[in-house]
C-alpha cells in the first residue's frame, strides 16, 4: 500500500510540472475524438475520445481484449478507424498511411517485438530515421557529399540514441539481443524518427522490476530532456501509477474511466472491470 | 555432414581473410580484363568459351537486377523475362530496319553509320547502342513500375503467380503486335514469331566502325564487362543506402517498416523499377549480340533460369549472385552436353537438354536441402534460414500476425 502511496506522490508532482508546461505550450498534442473500430460484428473500440497534452505522459489501461492495441493501431494508421477523427499537432491524421503518421511525428513500438531481426541494432535505428533522411536515389548511387554527410550524421545519431536507451551492443544483430535490450532497441528505433509523441505498447512486458524501473526513468527523461510526450499501454500497475499524469481505462472497447492515477485507482467501475463485480 | 560443411566454411573464411578486401576486388578485375587473352593462350579455339562468357555477362546483369527485387526487397518475381523482352525490343526498334518508312525512307541515325555497305542510306531507326542501353533501361523501369503497381498488395505465392502471368503476357503482346500495339495503329512492331533481325552491331559513338562479332569477340566482351562493372557499382551503392535499408526492412517486416516511416509503395516500386531497368539493360546487349529479337527467347523457363542463379548463388549477396550466374550459365552451355550420353547408357532414350529446367529444378532442391542460403550467402539470409538452429526461444509471431494489420498502401 505504501508503494502505491509513493506512486501517487510522484505522479502528482509530475502532473504539476506538466501543468505549468501545458500552460506555456497551450494544450493538446493529440486528440482522438469519437473513435470507433468495428471488425465485422465485433466493436473493438467504441466511441472513445482521448487526449494527450504536450509533454504529457498518459496511460491507457484495461483488461486483456479491452481494445487498447486496436486503439493504438487506429491512431498510427495501421487500421482505418470506422468512425471518428484523430488530430495531431493541429493536423488531421485520421486514416493516414502509417508512414505519413510517423512523418507527422508519432512513433510507436509494438507489443510483440517487431524489430528487423537480421539487421544490426544501429541499422534498425537508421531505418527508424528513414522519414527524416532526404537522400534521393541518384544521390545514393553517386554518393554525393550531401549523402555522405547525412549518412555519417545518421550513424552518429543512431549511436547516441542507442546510448540514450542504454544499449551497449550497437553492432549486434537485433535477433541476438536479449529480450530487455530488444525492447530498448524498439524505443531507440522509434526515437529515430524525431517524434513529438511516442506510443509504447506494453514496453515492460517480460522485463524484471529493475528493468521496468529503468524504463520508467527513461520515459521521464524523454519528457524532461527531449520534450517528447508518451502514451503508454501497460499492464504493470506500478509503472502506470508511478509515471502517468493521466490514465484512461478501456473495457470492452469503451472508455469506462479517466483521471489522475489516484482517481482511477478508486473508481469502482475500474475495480469491477479488473476484479469482476462483487455482487 | 554438418561438420564437413563447417570445416569448409572456416576454410573459406580463412581464404578470404588472406588478402584485404580491395586486393580481392583488384584481383578479380584484373582476371576479368585479361580473361580473353588468357583464353587465347590456353585454348586453340577460344571463341566458343568466349561466346559463352559474353552471354554469361548479360546473365550476370539480369541476375543482379533480379537480386534487387527478390534478394533485397523480398518480392518473389517469376516474370523477370518480361523486362529482358522489353529491353530487347527497344533495341530492336531503335537499332534495326524494323521501321523502314521513318523520315521518308532515309532513316534516323544518331551516332551510327548512315550508309550501308553498298553506299545507300540505311532505312529505319539507328541509334547508338550506348544511348539505347540507357533509353531501354528507363523504358523498362517505367514498365517495371506499371507491372509492379498492381502486385503491391500481394505477398508470397500470390505475388509469384501474378508476376508469372506478366512474364507470359508481355512476350505474347509483342508476338501479336504485327499490326499496331494494344490494337492502336497499324505499325508492325515485332514481325510476329519471326522476330526482328538483323540488329545493329555496337559501334563506339566517335567512330562509324561497327564491332565485328561474331567473328571478333573481344571488343564486345569488354563492353559487356563494362556494363557488369557499372551494375555491380550501382548495386553496391544502393545496398548500402537509405533505400537499401528500407528494402531489407520491408522484407523483414512490412508492418514495422511502415510504422517506421518507410513508404511501402515507393520502396517496392523502386525495387521493381531498378530490377526491371537492369533486365532491360542486359536485354539490349543480348539483342545486338544475338543479332535477333525473337519471342522464342522470352519463355517462362528463362525467368526460372535467372531466379535459380540468384537462389543458388546466394540471395541478397552480390558476389554470390555473380557466382551463381557464371556457374549456371556455363553449366547450361557445357555441363548438359557432358551429361547427354547418360540417359542412353542406362537405357532411357530422351534428350537431356530438353529437360534442362528439370535439372535446374533438381539443383534447386539439392541446394534447399544442403545449403539453402546459396554458395555465398548474404549474412542476413543465412541468419534467417538458420534462425531455428540459433535460438528458438523468443520468436514471437513475426509471420502470423501479418493479417492482424490491414497495412494500407494506397
- Assess contact for A127 and B259: CB atoms under 8 A: no
Confidence of residue B180 (pLDDT cuts 50, 70, 90): confident
pLDDT in tens, B160-174: 999 999 999 999 999
- Assess contact for B269 and B56: CB atoms under 8 A: no
Q: Is the Cα torsion angle A42, A240, A182, A80 positive or negative in sign?
A: positive
User: Chain B contact for A182, CB < 8 A?
Assistant: yes
Residue A55 pLDDT greater than 50, yes or no: yes
Mean pLDDT to the nearest integer, A1-8: 37
Residue holding cell 533485397?
B72
- Assess contact for A82 and A253: CB atoms under 8 A: no
CA of B247: which chain A residue's CA is closest?
Answer: A127
In eight-state DSSP terms, residue B331 is: I
The predicted structure's pLDDT at residue A277:
64
- Assess contact for B323 and B381: CB atoms under 8 A: no
Measured CA to CA, the distance from residue B217 to residue B259 in angstroms comes to 52
- Say if the Cβ atoms of B380 and A119 lie within 8 Å: yes
Crossing angle of helices A179-191/A209-226, nearest 10°?
10
**Upper half-sphere CA count for residue A138 (Cβ side, 13 Å):** 0
- Assess contact for A119 and A173: CB atoms under 8 A: yes
CA of B271: which chain A residue's CA is closest?
Answer: A137
Find all residues with CB under 8 Å of B253, minimum gap 6, and list them: A114, A115, A116, B398
Measured CA to CA, the distance from residue B59 to residue B289 in angstroms comes to 13
Confidence of residue B276 (pLDDT cuts 50, 70, 90): very high
- Assess contact for B55 and B325: CB atoms under 8 A: no
The predicted structure's pLDDT at residue A3:
39
Residue B110 pLDDT greater than 60, yes or no: yes
pLDDT in tens, B390-401: 444 444 434 444
Find all residues with CB under 8 Å of A240, minimum gap 6, and list them: A59, A61, A232, A234, A247, A261
Q: Where are the beta strands (DSSP E) in chain A?
A: 28-39, 42-53, 57-61, 83-88, 91-92, 106-108, 197-201, 229-233, 246-251, 254-259
User: Chain B contact for A80, CB < 8 A?
Assistant: yes
Q: What is the pTM of this model?
A: 0.87
Q: Which neighbouring-strand residues pair with A38?
A: A43
User: Chain B contact for A179, CB < 8 A?
Assistant: yes
Chain A hits for B264, CB-CB cut-off 8 Å, are: 99
pLDDT in tens, A225-242: 999 999 999 988 888 999
**How many Å lie between the alpha carbon of B396 and the closest alpha carbon of chain A?**
6
Percentage of residues in chain B having pLDDT higher than 70: 88
The predicted structure's pLDDT at residue B9:
62
| Mutation site for B-interface testing, chosen from A77, A93, A130, A185 by largest number of B Cβ within 10 Å | A130
Three-state SS letters, B66-78: HHHHHHHCCCCCC
Measured CA to CA, the distance from residue B16 to residue B22 in angstroms comes to 11
**What average pLDDT does the structure give for chain B?**
86
- Say if the Cβ atoms of A102 and B397 lie within 8 Å: no
User: Chain A contact for B272, CB < 8 A?
Assistant: no
User: Closest to A131 (Cβ–Cβ): which among B237, B261, B264?
Assistant: B261
Crossing angle of helices B218-239/B318-330, nearest 10°?
150
Measured CA to CA, the distance from residue A227 to residue A53 in angstroms comes to 11
Q: Which three cell numbers mark A237? A: 500497475
Confidence of residue B11 (pLDDT cuts 50, 70, 90): low
CA of A102: which chain B residue's CA is closest?
Answer: B261
Confidence of residue B408 (pLDDT cuts 50, 70, 90): low
Task: Cis check for the bond before B198: say yes or no (omega within 30 of 0).
Answer: yes
Mean pLDDT to the nearest integer, A255-278: 86
Mean pLDDT to the nearest integer, A36-49: 92
The predicted structure's pLDDT at residue B396:
40
User: Closest to B261 (Cβ–Cβ): which among A102, A135, A147?
Assistant: A102
- Assess contact for B237 and B389: CB atoms under 8 A: no
pLDDT in tens, A148-165: 999 999 999 999 999 999
Measured CA to CA, the distance from residue A99 to residue A20 in angstroms comes to 33
Mean pLDDT to the nearest integer, B219-244: 95
Measured CA to CA, the distance from residue B327 to residue B331 in angstroms comes to 6
- Say if the Cβ atoms of B408 and A76 lie within 8 Å: no
Q: Which neighbouring-strand residues pair with A30?
A: A52, A88
Q: Which three cell numbers mark A234? A: 501497460
Measured CA to CA, the distance from residue B171 to residue B86 in angstroms comes to 8
- Say if the Cβ atoms of A114 and B260 lie within 8 Å: no
Q: Which neighbouring-strand residues pair with B189?
A: none
CA nearest to A228, candidates A104, A31, A56, A24 = A56
Chain A hits for B391, CB-CB cut-off 8 Å, are: 175-176
- Say if the Cβ atoms of A113 and B258 lie within 8 Å: no
CA nearest to B307, candidates B279, B284, B338, B343 = B279
Q: Which three cell numbers mark A127? A: 531505418
Instruction: Report DSSP letters for A195-218, one per residue.
Output: -SEEEEESTTTT--HHHHHHHHHH
Three-state SS letters, A149-193: HHHHHHHHHHHHHHHHCCCCCCCCEHHHCCHHHHHHHHHHHHHCC
User: Chain B contact for A136, CB < 8 A?
Assistant: no
- Say if the Cβ atoms of A80 and B248 lie within 8 Å: no
**Upper half-sphere CA count for residue B224 (Cβ side, 13 Å):** 30
Measured CA to CA, the distance from residue A172 to residue B129 in angstroms comes to 47
CA nearest to B95, candidates B287, B223, B281 = B287
Residue B112 pLDDT greater than 60, yes or no: yes
User: Chain B contact for A120, CB < 8 A?
Assistant: no
Mean pLDDT to the nearest integer, A126-137: 92
The predicted structure's pLDDT at residue B274:
96
Rg over alpha carbons for chain B, rounded to the nearest Å, is: 23
The predicted structure's pLDDT at residue B255:
93
**How many Å lie between the alpha carbon of A247 and the closest alpha carbon of chain B?**
25
Measured CA to CA, the distance from residue B100 to residue A276 in angstroms comes to 86
pLDDT in tens, A97-130: 999 999 999 999 999 999 999 899 999 999 999 9
Residue A73 pLDDT greater than 70, yes or no: yes
Look at residue A34 and give its three-state secondary structure.
Answer: strand
The predicted structure's pLDDT at residue B373:
80
Residue holding cell 508476376?
B163
ipTM strictly over 0.95? Answer: no
Amino acid at each position: 500500500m505504501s508503494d502505491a502511496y509513493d506512486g501517487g506522490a510522484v505522479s502528482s508532482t509530475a502532473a504539476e510540472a506538466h501543468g505549468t508546461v501545458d500552460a506555456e505550450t497551450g494544450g493538446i498534442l493529440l486528440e482522438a475524438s469519437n473513435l470507433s473500430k468495428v471488425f465485422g460484428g465485433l466493436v473493438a473500440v467504441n466511441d472513445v475520445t482521448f487526449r494527450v497534452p504536450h509533454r504529457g505522459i498518459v496511460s491507457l489501461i484495461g483488461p486483456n481484449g479491452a481494445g487498447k492495441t486496436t486503439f493504438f493501431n487506429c491512431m498510427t494508421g495501421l487500421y482505418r478507424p470506422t468512425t471518428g477523427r484523430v488530430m495531431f499537432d493541429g493536423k488531421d491524421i485520421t486514416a493516414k498511411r502509417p508512414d505519413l503518421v510517423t512523418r507527422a511525428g508519432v512513433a510507436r513500438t509494438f507489443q510483440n517485438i517487431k524489430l528487423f531481426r537480421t539487421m544490426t541494432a544501429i541499422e534498425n535505428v537508421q531505418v527508424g530515421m528513414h522519414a527524416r533522411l532526404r537522400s534521393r536515389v541518384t544521390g545514393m548511387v553517386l554518393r554525393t557529399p550531401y549523402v555522405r554527410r547525412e549518412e555519417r550524421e545518421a550513424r552518429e545519431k543512431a549511436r547516441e540514441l542507442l546510448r540514450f536507451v542504454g544499449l551497449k551492443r550497437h553492432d549486434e544483430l537485433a535477433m541476438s539481443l536479449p529480450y530487455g535490450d530488444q525492447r530498448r532497441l524498439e524505443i531507440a528505433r522509434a526515437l529515430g524518427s524525431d517524434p513529438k509523441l511516442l506510443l509504447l505498447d506494453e514496453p515492460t512486458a517480460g522485463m524484471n522490476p529493475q528493468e521496468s524501473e529503468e524504463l520508467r526513468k527513461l520515459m521521464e527523461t524523454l519528457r524532461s530532456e527531449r520534450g517528447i510526450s508518451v502514451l503508454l499501454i501497460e499492464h504493470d500497475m506500478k509503472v502506470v501509477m508511478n509515471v502517468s499524469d493521466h490514465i484512461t481505462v478501456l473495457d470492452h472497447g469503451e472508455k469506462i474511466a479517466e483521471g489522475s492515477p489516484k482517481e482511477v485507482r478508486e473508481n469502482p467501475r475500474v475495480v469491477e472491470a479488473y476484479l469482476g463485480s462483487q455482487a | 555432414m554438418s561438420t564437413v560443411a563447417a570445416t569448409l566454411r572456416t576454410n573459406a573464411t580463412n581464404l578470404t581473410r588472406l588478402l584485404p578486401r580491395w586486393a580481392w576486388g583488384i584481383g578479380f578485375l584484373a582476371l576479368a580484363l585479361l580473361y580473353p587473352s588468357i583464353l587465347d593462350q590456353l585454348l586453340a579455339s577460344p571463341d566458343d568459351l568466349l561466346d559463352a562468357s559474353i552471354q554469361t555477362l548479360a546473365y550476370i546483369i539480369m541476375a543482379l537486377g533480379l537480386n534487387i527485387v527478390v534478394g533485397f526487397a523480398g518480392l518473389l518475381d517469376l516474370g523477370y523475362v518480361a523486362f529482358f523482352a522489353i529491353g530487347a525490343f527497344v533495341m530492336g526498334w531503335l537499332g534495326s530496319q524494323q521501321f523502314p518508312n521513318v523520315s521518308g525512307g532515309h532513316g534516323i541515325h544518331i551516332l551510327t553509320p548512315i550508309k550501308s555497305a553498298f553506299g545507300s542510306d540505311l532505312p529505319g531507326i539507328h541509334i547508338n547502342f550506348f544511348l539505347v542501353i540507357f533509353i531501354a533501361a528507363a523504358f523498362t523501369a517505367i514498365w517495371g513500375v506499371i507491372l509492379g503497381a498492381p502486385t503491391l498488395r500481394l505477398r508470397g505465392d500470390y505475388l509469384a503467380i501474378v508476376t508469372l502471368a506478366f512474364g507470359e503476357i508481355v512476350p505474347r503482346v509483342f508476338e501479336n503486335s504485327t499490326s499496331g500495339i494494344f490494337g492502336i495503329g497499324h505499325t508492325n512492331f515485332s514481325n510476329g514469331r519471326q522476330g526482328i533481325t538483323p540488329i545493329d552491331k555496337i559501334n563506339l559513338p566517335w567512330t562509324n566502325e561497327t564491332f565485328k562479332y561474331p567473328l571478333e569477340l573481344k571488343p564486345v566482351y569488354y563492353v559487356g564487362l563494362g556494363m557488369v562493372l557499372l551494375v555491380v557499382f550501382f548495386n553496391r551503392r544502393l545496398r548500402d543506402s537509405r533505400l537499401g535499408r528500407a528494402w531489407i526492412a520491408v522484407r523483414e517486416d512490412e508492418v514495422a517498416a511502415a510504422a517506421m516511416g518507410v513508404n511501402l509503395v515507393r520502396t517496392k516500386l523502386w525495387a521493381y523499377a531498378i530490377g526491371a531497368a537492369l533486365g532491360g539493360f542486359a536485354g539490349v546487349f543480348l539483342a545486338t549480340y544475338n543479332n535477333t529479337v525473337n519471342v522464342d527467347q522470352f519463355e517462362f523457363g528463362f525467368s526460372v533460369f535467372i531466379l535459380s542463379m540468384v537462389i543458388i548463388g546466394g540471395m541478397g549477396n552480390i558476389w554470390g549472385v555473380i557466382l551463381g550466374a557464371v556457374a549456371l550459365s556455363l553449366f547450361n552451355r557445357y555441363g548438359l552436353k557432358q551429361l547427354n550420353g547418360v540417359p542412353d547408357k542406362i537405357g532411357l532414350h530422351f534428350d537431356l537438354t530438353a529437360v534442362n529446367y528439370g535439372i535446374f529444378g533438381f539443383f534447386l532442391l539439392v541446394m534447399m536441402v544442403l545449403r539453402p542460403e546459396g554458395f555465398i550467402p548474404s549474412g542476413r539470409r543465412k541468419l534467417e534460414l538458420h534462425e531455428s538452429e540459433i535460438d528458438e526461444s523468443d520468436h514471437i509471431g513475426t509471420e502470423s500476425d501479418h493479417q492482424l494489420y490491414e497495412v494500407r498502401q494506397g
